[in-house]
Amino acid sequence: MIRAATVNDVAEIRAMIRELAEYERSAEQARATEEQLREAMFGEHPAVSALIAEDDETGETMGYALWFPHFSSWTGTRGMHLEDLYVRPRARGGGHGKALLASLAAICEQRGYERFEWWVLAWNQSTIDFYKSLGVDFLDEWRVCRLSGEPLSELAAEAPAGLDRS
């Protein structure tokens, strides 16, 4: 039911990213191309990894999880950031999401990662309820910060001269 993504899955992952973006009311923001995803997952220096959920009988792709390691200065260890978790609507409730999360938790345990973290949209109550059923801790005191576009460029222009930008 769950397997590591291969380069042959990139087009299907790209399609599901679009589906997820539409579900999250942000389709215009999902600009990643197949080429970018292929490089990010399978290039010389992979930035992310992915798991695929398949239907046991048909082999049809039902969902995916896209993740990457991060580091905690507090614990001194790596952790896992789940960028995307998506199960197609027709497959929801069939155990694919839980199987993807359980597989990622097993990867964390195997690699000695102490934290497994992700974000969820505040309006997505059915997903929040699902996560609560798994025992997830919600860090309500933390806010997500994002700097992009023109404000990012404006702040970057204020960087000290002579900074090594490599």
What is the predicted pLDDT for the residue at 128? 94
Structure tokens at 31: 């600009």
Q: How does DSSP assign 98-140, residue by residue?
A: HHHHHHHHHHHHHHT---EEE---TT-HHHHHHHHHTTPPP-T
Which of the pair, 160 or 19, is modelled with greater confidence? 19
C-alpha 140/C-alpha 85 separation (Å) is 20
C-alpha 112/C-alpha 105 separation (Å) is 10
Select which of 64, 86, 113, 131 is catalytic: 131
What is the predicted pLDDT for the residue at 159? 87
Predicted confidence (pLDDT) at residue 71 exceeds the cutoff of 90: yes
The structural domains of the chain, ordered by start, are 2-156 (3.40.630.30)
User: What's the whole-number mean pLDDT along residues 40-69?
Assistant: 96
Predicted confidence (pLDDT) at residue 137 exceeds the cutoff of 70: yes
Predicted confidence (pLDDT) at residue 166 exceeds the cutoff of 80: no
pLDDT bucket at 165, cuts 50 / 70 / 90:
low
Query: Annotated catalytic, 131?
Result: yes
Q: Model pTM greater than 0.85?
A: yes
pLDDT bucket at 163, cuts 50 / 70 / 90:
confident
